[in-house]
Chains A and B, each alone.
Chain A
Amino acid sequence: GPKVLQIPSHQIIDMGQMVTLNCDPVSNHLYFYWYKQILGQQMEFLVNFYNGKVMEKSKLFKDQFSVERPDGSYFTLKIQPTALEDSAVYFCASSLGQNSDYTFGSGTRLLVI
Chain B
Amino acid sequence: GEQVEQLPSILRVQEGSSASINCTYENSASNYFPWYKQEPGENPKLIIDIRSNMERKQTQGLIVLLDKKAKRFSLHITDTQPGDSAMYFCAGTMDSNYQLIWGSGTKLIIKP
B56 to chain A, nearest CB (A): 19
Q: In the assembly, what is the distance between CA of A44 and CA of B44, in Å?
A: 13
Residue in contact with A99 in the complex, picked from B95, B103, B104, CB distance below 8 Å: B95
Q: How many chain B residues touch the partner (CB < 8 A)? A: 24
Considering only residues 73-100 of chain B, those with a C-beta below 8 Å from chain A are: 87, 89, 91, 93-95, 97-100
CB of A64 within 8 Å of the partner chain: no
- Taking CB atoms, residues of chain B closer than 8 Å to A44 are 102
Q: Is B59 an interface residue (CB 8 A)?
A: no
The reply to whether A101 and B49 form a contact with Cβ atoms under 8 Å apart is: yes
Q: Are A45 and B100 in contact (CB under 8 A)?
A: yes
B101 lies within 8 A of A45 (CB): yes
Q: Indicate the size class of the contact surface on chain A.
A: 20 to 34
B42:A106 contact, CB within 8 angstroms: yes
Chain B residue at minimal CB-CB distance from A4: B43
* Candidates A40, A42, A98; contact of B98 at CB < 8 Å: A98
Chain A residues with CB under 8 Å of B94's CB are 99
Question: A14: CB under 8 A from chain B?
Answer: no
Contact A41 B44 (CB under 8 A): no
Cβ of A12 under 8 Å from chain B: no
Closest to B90 in A: A42
Report chain A residues within 8 Å CB of B57. none
Does the CB pair A106–B89 fall under 8 Å? no
**Interface: B46 (CB within 8 A):** yes
Whether the Cβ atoms of B43 and A105 lie closer than 8 Å is: yes
Q: Give me 14 A-to-B residue pairs in the complex whose CB atoms sit less than 8 angstroms apart, sorted by A's number.
A: A33-B99, A42-B104, A43-B44, A43-B91, A43-B102, A56-B97, A56-B99, A58-B99, A91-B44, A99-B95, A99-B98, A102-B46, A104-B45, A106-B43
6 closest cross-chain pairs (CB), A and B: A104-B43, A45-B99, A48-B98, A43-B102, A42-B102, A42-B104
Q: A41-B104, A50-B98 are in contact. List 9 more A-B contacts (CB 8 A).
A: A31-B98, A33-B98, A42-B102, A43-B91, A45-B100, A56-B99, A91-B44, A98-B98, A99-B95
